[in-house]
Structure formats: structure tokens, C-alpha cells
Amino acid sequence: MIFDVVVVGSGAAGIMSSIKAASDKKSVLLLEKMPKIGLKLKATGGGRCNITNKLGLEDFINSFGRQGRFMRDALSEFYHDDLIKFLSDIGLQTHAPDGFRVFPLSHDSKSVLDVLRAKMKELKIDIKCKQNVQKIERNSELFTIVTKTDKFQSKHVVMATGGLGYSTLGASGDGYRFAKSFGHHVTDLHAAMIPLHVEDKWVKNCRADTIAKVTLKIDLPKMQKIHKTGDLIFTKNGIRGRGVLDFATEVTPLLDRYEKVPLLANFTKGMNENQIQIFLKQEARKNSQKEIVDILQKILPPSLSQEICSLADVDCVLTYSKIPGFKKEKLIKLLAWTPLSVIGHDGFEKAMITKGGVVLKEIDPKTMQSRLVKGLYFCGELVDLDGPCGGYNLQWSFSSGYLAGCLLSA
Ligand SMILES: Cc1cc2nc3c(=O)[nH]c(=O)nc-3n(C[C@H](O)[C@H](O)[C@H](O)COP(=O)(O)OP(=O)(O)OC[C@H]3O[C@@H](n4cnc5c(N)ncnc54)[C@H](O)[C@@H]3O)c2cc1C
């Protein structure tokens, strides 16, 4: 049998492509190398699946940086309202408990997969798991898709093989290899959305402290403008938390060039040196006997207050007035920007996202079709786009999968 389309990979992108193509009466074969479909989708959002968010289109596009404008056509075709309506039509209710991030009402990613699976069954999509695609070739008008055990033929191929993160959930990087075999280029690939390891031993003493609204910036020439603000959690050898995961995207490529990447962290919810000085003086005036560590605990967790005192070489039981002037200055500087040195990360195995992918200029954003090979489509994380935490990456996978599944030609 010659299929209208073979979709390789059953993540959010591949599933949505299959559903769209089958809804348009195309015969669809979905090939997945893992024993079950949608394993990564099921693991998203800590098992709760943050499907999308409520951001306006322009802001959403900007969240993906300079590359974001590539997404305009796909998002215009199928954005969050379309996704939420589609899911509702197939039986999944969603909500946004914080008014921004959208989850299934059940808060269980399995319920998302269940309705998608039911829809695929209704559309008679041929799903074959444990089919590890080895090679894709194009001979005259048809593609031949070779797996370890079988060969399939189709008029179109949608590549939805995802990135390199979490191989236990199916990531393999095969899609990059297939893309290259068709003459496509792939950018450098980096682990992104990943906890970072730091050289600073003191962080382990602050383990399990979650600090909100921490601003992180890169302390390298011409890079101080790169900053992110969000939650930070100290670990035994580094930092994690949503703010760190988003910021890691900026840091991991630098680790290829530098042994260490110096960061500066503001743990005081954005207070600058002047504001910190005013705060310390005010607190000391309110209670002249208060130890500096107790004053700091008004704005920092106890363990971090102690560590910052010791970094400034300030005895934490001193009152503010007893601290020598030059040490006060050092303390204030450290409170405004605490240095951290990133020396590594958890590796691709723990990377929620891959930064980089199939080069965008070789893909037509109006169709997601290859500009080099007619009938070949790309979607999802496989292409050179990565967004922050908060439903951005799944929305992109669903939107690009939908557009690819339209099987449009320029
Ligand atoms: C733990 C975790 C939590 C996350 N949480 C969120 C979240 O809450 N919200 C959000 O927006 N994003 C989240 N993300 C990111 C998001 O999951 C991904 O960006 C998105 O799932 C990518 O979808 P995809 O369809 O492109 O790829 P994938 O979901 O990775 O699917 C690719 C599929 O292709 C298959 N495949 C690969 N090679 C082959 C081959 N040779 N033959 C056959 N099949 C193959 C793989 O087995 C896999 O099933 C999370 C990621 C992780 C790892």
C-alpha cells in the first residue's frame, strides 16, 4: 500500500500532523520507535501537561527570540484558542488555574493522550509502534521509509522526531540525520531547559530553598544584557527552578566556548545597591540591636543570608552599625549581584528542550515543507526553535504539526 503520508514520530507534533492529514481524508501511517505513542507528551508538566498558555500571538512569537517570526503562519493557522477548542471537541476540558498556563482539567497528561488516541482511532490512522525508522529515501515521486523490520511507501513524509533530550522518552536525534541525508543543514545542538552545575560550593548549604523572582545575567563582556527573572532553587551542586531552566538556554552554548560561565544573580527581587543600602539602614534604625543576618532574613532565606554574609566576610551576628564601612560596601554589592560560576549541566538526558535544529531558512514557514525536497515536511522540536517554560514548546509542536499535516505545497 502507498500511504498519502507517513508521519515519523508520535509526539505532540506527529500526532497533530496525523490527525490533521487524516481529517482531510488522507491515508496516514504513524511510525513510532517506542512501544507506545506520546511518551514525552505524557511526561510533560510533571505529568500534568502544560498544553499551552494564554499569551497574545506577538508576545508568544517574541518569546522565541529572533527566530520566532518563522512561527507566524503556523500559529496563525492553529493557535491556543484553536488547540483548546479542538481538545474540547474531542472530549478534553482544559483550564488555566493561574490565568496563564493551560492544563487539562484533570491535571493528568494521560487524559490528553487518551482523547488524542481516541481521535486517531476514529480517523483510522494506522499506528505502528516499535518501528524504528532507519532511513528515508525519495525515489521518483515516492518516499521509501525503512525501519528495522519493514519498508513503507508514501507520497509525503512528515518528520516529527523531536530533539535530543530524554532518550528514555524516545529522543534519538535521528531526525537530524534524516534531514541531512536530504541535503538539509542542522545548527549546533545544545541541551536547554536544564539544571546548571556551579563551582560555588556554598550553594549546597542553601539546598531546597526556593527563591522567587531571581534575576540572572551573564557576566561576560557584551553579554550583561542577557538576563532572565524567575524562580531559583539551589541543589547540592548547582541551581534549578523555572527561572534557571529558561536561562540555561543562553548559558549552555557558552559552555562549549568557555570552561566556566560567570553569572550574576540578584536574589533581592530586583533591588539595586542604593535600595539595598536604604533598606539595611532603615531596618537597623528600627532595631539597632538586630543582627545583620536577621535583617537579611527579611528579604532572603536564612541559609542564603548566612552564606552572603560569609561571602562578604561579614560576621553575621554583628549589628549593622558595627560592620566596617568597606565590608558594608562589599555586602551591599554582593546582595545586588551575587556571583556564580556555571561549570556544566545535567546533560542531554535531563534536557527538556534541544536548542538548535533543522535550519529554518530551508523550510517554508507557510507550509512547513522542505524547500529542498518536495513532499517532505518538518515540525515540532526538530526544527531550530525553542521557547521558554510555560506551554510554549507544546503549542509550537501542535501548531507546526497541524500546518505540516495540511500537506500544502507552495
Ligand atoms: C520532562 C519534560 C517536560 C516537559 N514539559 C513541558 C510542558 O509542560 N509544556 C511544554 O510546552 N513543553 C514541555 N516540554 C517540552 C515538550 O515536551 C517538547 O517540546 C515537545 O513534546 C516536542 O514534541 P515533538 O512532537 O516535536 O517531539 P517528541 O515529543 O520528542 O516526539 C518525537 C517522537 O519521535 C520518535 N522518534 C524519534 N526517532 C524516531 C525514529 N527513528 N523512528 C521512529 N520514531 C522516532 C520518538 O520516540 C518520539 O516519540 C517538556 C519536555 C520534557 C522532556
Whose CA is closest to 263, among 245, 251, 246?
Answer: 251
**What is the reported pLDDT for 254?**
96
pLDDT at 410 over 90: no
**Are residues 33 and 155 located together in one domain of the fold?**
yes
401 CA: nearest ligand 1 atom: 25
Query: Which residues, 6 or more positions from 122, have their beta carbon under 8 angstroms from its beta carbon?
Result: none
Residue 67 belongs to some domain of the structure: yes
**Are residues 148 and 212 located together in one domain of the fold?**
no
Phi, psi of 47 (to 5 degrees): 85, 0
Task: Return the residue whose CA atom lies nearest to atom 29 of ligand 1.
Answer: 11
Pairing relationship of beta strands 126-128 and 28-31 according to DSSP bridges? parallel
Beta bridge partners of 378: 159
Other Cβ atoms less than 10 A from the Cβ of 48: the count is 15
**Are residues 171 and 115 located together in one domain of the fold?**
yes
% pLDDT > 90, the chain: 96
Residue 351 belongs to some domain of the structure: no
**What is the reported pLDDT for 83?**
98
Where do the H-state alpha helices sit in 67-173? 72-77, 80-89, 109-122
Q: Which three cell numbers stand for residue 124?
A: 483510522
Question: In this predicted model, what pLDDT tens digit does every residue of 127-165 receive, in sequence order?
Answer: 999 999 999 999 988 999 999 999 999 999 999 999 999
Q: What is the DSSP string of 120-154?
A: HHHTT-EEE-S--EEEEEEETTEEEEEESS-EEEE
Q: What is the mean pLDDT of residues 200-219?
A: 94
**Are residues 31 and 147 located together in one domain of the fold?**
yes
In the chain, the amino acid numbered 132 is N
**Are residues 180 and 221 located together in one domain of the fold?**
no
**What is the reported pLDDT for 209?**
79
**Are residues 171 and 303 located together in one domain of the fold?**
no
% pLDDT > 70, the chain: 100
DSSP 8-state code for residue 65: G
- Across all residues in the chain, what is the average pLDDT? 97
Q: Ligand 1 center to residue 396 CA distance, Å?
A: 11
39 CA: nearest ligand 1 atom: 49
Task: Return the residue whose CA atom lies nearest to atom 46 of ligand 1.
Answer: 170
Residue 272 belongs to some domain of the structure: yes
**Are residues 249 and 315 located together in one domain of the fold?**
yes
Question: In this predicted model, what pLDDT tens digit does every residue of 258-271 receive, in sequence order?
Answer: 999 999 999 999 99
Domain boundary among 326, 345, 364: 345
Q: What is the mean pLDDT of residues 70-77?
A: 98
pLDDT at 208 over 80: no
Domain of 398: which CATH number?
3.50.50.60
Residue with grid cell 543576618, as numbered in its chain:
293
Question: In this predicted model, what pLDDT tens digit does every residue of 339-353 receive, in sequence order?
Answer: 999 999 999 999 999
**Are residues 207 and 143 located together in one domain of the fold?**
no
Residue 410 belongs to some domain of the structure: no
Rounded Cα–Cα distance for residues 55 and 57 (Å): 6
Question: In this predicted model, what pLDDT tens digit does every residue of 185-201 receive, in sequence order?
Answer: 999 999 999 999 999 99
Pocket test for ligand 1, best of 384, 393, 402 (most atoms within 8 A of CB): 393
Query: Which residues, 6 or more positions from 283, have their beta carbon under 8 angstroms from its beta carbon?
Result: 290, 295, 298, 320
Contact 57, 34 (CB under 8 A): no
Domain count, the chain: 2
Q: Ligand 1 center to residue 402 CA distance, Å?
A: 15
Residue with grid cell 525503512, as numbered in its chain:
146
**Are residues 136 and 159 located together in one domain of the fold?**
yes
Rounded Cα–Cα distance for residues 348 and 355 (Å): 11
**What is the reported pLDDT for 224?**
82
**Are residues 230 and 144 located together in one domain of the fold?**
no
Pocket test for ligand 1, best of 102, 352, 402, 403 (most atoms within 8 A of CB): 352
Contact 376, 55 (CB under 8 A): no
Question: In this predicted model, what pLDDT tens digit does every residue of 375-395 receive, in sequence order?
Answer: 999 999 999 999 999 999 999
Rounded Cα–Cα distance for residues 51 and 397 (Å): 10
Residue 400 belongs to some domain of the structure: yes
Domain of 269 in residue numbering reads as 195-345
DSSP 8-state code for residue 64: T
Pocket of ligand 1 (CB under 6 A): 8-14, 31-34, 39-41, 43-45, 49-50, 132-133, 160-162, 165-166, 170-172, 174, 352-353, 380-382, 391-394, 397
Q: How many residues does the chain have?
A: 410
Query: Which residues, 6 or more positions from 253, have their beta carbon under 8 angstroms from its beta carbon?
Result: 188, 190, 355
**Are residues 257 and 280 located together in one domain of the fold?**
yes
Residue 99 belongs to some domain of the structure: yes
DSSP 8-state code for residue 105: T
Pocket test for ligand 1, best of 31, 40, 53, 117 (most atoms within 8 A of CB): 40
Domain boundary among 345, 375, 397: 345
Question: In this predicted model, what pLDDT tens digit does every residue of 40-59 receive, in sequence order?
Answer: 999 999 999 999 999 999 99
Beta bridge partners of 151: 146
Residue 139 belongs to some domain of the structure: yes
Q: Ligand 1 center to residue 29 CA distance, Å?
A: 19
Question: In this predicted model, what pLDDT tens digit does every residue of 231-281 receive, in sequence order?
Answer: 999 999 999 999 999 999 999 999 989 999 999 999 999 999 999 999 999
Residue 350 belongs to some domain of the structure: no
Contact 309, 315 (CB under 8 A): yes
Task: Return the residue whose CA atom lies nearest to atom 41 of ligand 1.
Answer: 133
**Are residues 276 and 341 located together in one domain of the fold?**
yes
